[in-house]
A and B are shown apart, each in its own frame.
Chain A
């Protein structure tokens, strides 16, 4: 761990993301003094934790050099399956959260099989499973908003503040994040994820099981998205069609802005955390200044492009 390694590569992106966060905080505070109040910031963190959990799964897949476009409807599946299970009495109702996560895991496993074993490009395969997930949910709800509601456990995880006044959702994200860092840094599975992102062939030749790692990452991505859907349903006490749609672009943007290479093999979890906070703050500032939706989209897109131009550029010489 030389100083050079800390300053170069990943950490320059992290520093840039941190700087952007500070700029956003200062800008927000200049516009409205309440912006820096502890209550408002904690609320932002709570909103960020949903995106953070989705981004965790996205990051695992992006590190492999793949992408998961089934996020939107897997999030929705998480929300709808948990509220549907909550509608039942007895043991089924109390297992709402694990049941919903298992559904997301299932879609993730299908993604993994398609990408790892059938070798279909991840972009097109996850696109197809997204369409299937959507189809399943349209059949499940008959196209209407389901009349179910969240369980107390979901409400507890998503809304309440049990320890130190910090929202439980943030604690959940912290636990998932810590586990992810441990896996990425301290296990052979985690190191293989990076290795596959750099060269699948090299991993195969050094007797690593490429396919099983890819399958596991897609399964985890599905589980993360579904879990985020569970929390979202707990937060708004209902699940609705297309509730996951606003999560795909921000999740990918957060991962990439945090310095993870979209080609795979490079990036740290701390960067993703910074990226998630950055995207959430940007969204919240745009809504505070009461920018109409049109301007919000333009600024959102432009800011992502500009930030990437500053520190997310590829290498120049073709080599």
Chain B
């Protein structure tokens, strides 16, 4: 016991260093949200929290969808289109009796899964580069969204929508409950499963994973399938928020791009192999809170996109501090 740290302290230090990204994102979010509620005229009211949660959860789901392929050093540029397509589908199907609503929800989620399967098949068995393949499948999904809903409109069962976007148990936003539920039911079991570990292994080194008998193809396929599912959940939530559907290309595009930003801010490496959904959630919340902060500080709405861009640029450049620790210049290059 003389001087050497106990095993438990070592474990804690290892845990801290391997979760630095998510912890930083969480700390940043707590600080920013703290400033937001103190500056907000209404303070920490259930309404303010609920609105913020609904917006944050929407991006969080799309960003989790993006996280999965990124873990395998892939990318899914179609998440925004699947999100919009699910929105259009939900605005058509989720009406009528509770049974019909349940069936509609199931179909919407299944359609997301199907999009994910197509992405996965094209990338894994078609052996196309994920960037270009999902860019192209994204165009297909957007086309389907436009076909489902050429003009904005549609409707959704209002009881269901209000329940999804309301709050339960005295002020806890239900959207947060859905998010935590999805994490507990889908993400954590996945992370601990063979395929989940395989996804991290593939992201670290596909060759080594292949040589070690890791099911590379199946692991990659499943990440794209789950990405489709998460993007569809986000589309469902959007429909509950807006009570309507719209094949909005700009919205899809901005969600795709924000999802990549959220993944990076949440501490997941774009080169794959490290990070996870929890960090991504905080990354998404951070991005959303930036927008809220600009609002409460009365920044001219016209200069808000510029501020968002600068914050994003600074955030992604902060990672460059690691360069100071690089000793051999050769290590800078791939």
Contact = CB atoms under 8 A, between A and B. Distances in A.
B270 interface: yes
B136 A308 contact: yes
B271 interface: yes
A318 B303 CA distance: 48
Interface stretch (A12-20, A47-55, A91-99, A130-138): A130-138
Interface centre among A128, A134, A249, A313 (most CB of B within 10 A): A128
Q: Among B136, B140, B305, B312, find the residue whose CB has the most chain A CB atoms closer than 10 A.
A: B136
Contacts of B150: 292, 294
Contact of B302 (A118, A143, A293): A143
Given A123-B270, A136-B306, A298 B144 contact: yes
A124 B136 contact: no
B135 A295 contact: no
Given A135-B309, A309-B126, A127 B257 contact: yes
B31 interface: no
27 contacts: A120-B319, A123-B75, A123-B270, A124-B264, A124-B270, A131-B305, A135-B305, A135-B308, A138-B305, A139-B306, A203-B333, A204-B330, A204-B333, A205-B330, A210-B333, A252-B132, A256-B132, A292-B146, A292-B147, A292-B150, A294-B147, A294-B247, A297-B146, A298-B147, A301-B140, A314-B129, A319-B207
Given A139-B306, A309-B128, A313-B127, A200 B320 contact: no
A128 B144 contact: no
Interface of B: 75, 122, 126-129, 131-133, 135-140, 142-147, 150, 206-207, 210, 216, 247, 250, 253, 257, 260-261, 264, 270-271, 302-310, 312-313, 316-317, 319-320, 323, 329-330, 332-334
A292 B144 CA distance: 11
Interface of A: 65, 67, 69, 114, 118-121, 123-125, 127-136, 138-139, 142-143, 199-201, 203-205, 210, 242, 245, 249, 252-253, 256, 262-263, 292-302, 304-305, 308-309, 312-316, 318-319
Contact of B308 (A67, A131, A296, A299): A131
Contacts of A128: 261, 309, 312-313, 316
Nearest to B301: A143
Contacts of B146: 292-294, 297
Contact of B329 (A65, A204, A297): A204
A308 B132 contact: yes
B270 to A, nearest CB: 5
A301 B330 contact: no
A132 B309 contact: yes
A60 to B, nearest CB: 17
Nearest to B149: A294
Contacts of A249: 135, 139
B131 A262 contact: yes
Contacts of B122: 305, 309
A220 B137 CA distance: 29
B135 A252 contact: yes
Contacts of A204: 329-330, 332-333
Given A128-B312, A313-B127, A316-B127, 9 more contacts: A124-B260, A128-B313, A131-B312, A135-B310, A210-B333, A245-B253, A263-B129, A312-B128, A318-B210
B139 A120 contact: no
Nearest to A249: B135
Contacts of B332: 119, 204
Given A118-B320, A135-B303, A301 B136 contact: yes
Nearest to B334: A200
Given A297-B146, A298-B144, A200 B333 contact: yes
A305 B323 contact: no
Nearest to B75: A123
B49 to A, nearest CB: 27
Contacts of B145: 294
Contacts of A318: 206-207, 210, 216
Contact of B132 (A114, A142, A253): A253
A135 B323 contact: no
A297 B252 CA distance: 14
Nearest to B143: A297
A133 B308 CA distance: 11
B323 A119 contact: yes
Contact of B270 (A121, A129, A293): A121
B317 A114 contact: yes
Nearest to B147: A294
A136 B310 CA distance: 10
B144 A118 contact: no
Contact of B316 (A69, A124, A139, A308): A124
A301 B329 contact: no
Contact of A124 (B261, B303, B334): B261
A120 B316 contact: yes
Nearest to A116: B332
A205 B126 CA distance: 35
B143 A313 contact: no
Contacts of B313: 114, 125, 128-129, 131-132
A212 to B, nearest CB: 13
Given A135-B303, A138-B306, A318-B210, A313 B139 contact: no
Contact of B143 (A65, A134, A294): A294
A301 B309 contact: no
Contacts of A199: 334
A68 B1 CA distance: 55
A319 B211 CA distance: 9
Given A118-B317, A124-B261, A301-B138, A295 B143 contact: yes
Contacts of A69: 257
Contacts of A263: 129
